Amino acid sequence: MNVDADIQVWLETVAGTQPSVIVPYVQSAGGGPLHYEIQAVREGPQGRAVIRQGSNVTLAAGKPTALSNMAISRNSGETCDIVIFITGKEGSLPESGRSYQFPCPD
């Protein structure tokens, strides 16, 4: 899969969950295999926490694919970001692909 092709990446939050459960989705017009890594970074007065998970998935052309799900909580005064790295095959991340950054849900 050409990671420079038309790829859409977005997050959905599962309603009514505490901590917030997020589900990252990927969709591509062409479909095919890809490798992903999801990283959540939370920073605040108490320090820094990093959660990371990744895997391989095969996309069906034009159909949204959920990559995983992740429970995220944050306290007042903390910043939190989610970064999704995508490559066309298992490779060295993030150097050989694209990244998408999102703020954590409130």
- Backbone dihedral angles phi then psi of residue 2, each to the nearest 5 degrees: -85, 110
Closest among 96, 102, 71, 100 to 1, alpha carbons compared:
96
What pLDDT is stored for residue 90 in this prediction?
54
Q: What is the pLDDT along the chain (106 residues), one digit of tens a residue?
A: 444 457 899 999 998 888 889 999 999 988 888 999 999 999 999 999 999 999 999 999 999 999 999 998 888 889 999 999 998 765 544 446 899 999 998 7
pTM of this structure? 0.83
What pLDDT is stored for residue 12 in this prediction?
95
CATH T-level topology, domain 7-103: Immunoglobulin-like (2.60.40)
In sequence order, what are the residues at sequence separation of 6 or more whose Cβ sits closer than 8 angstroms to the Cβ of residue 61?
A: 28, 29, 30, 31
Closest among 68, 66, 57, 3 to 30, alpha carbons compared:
3
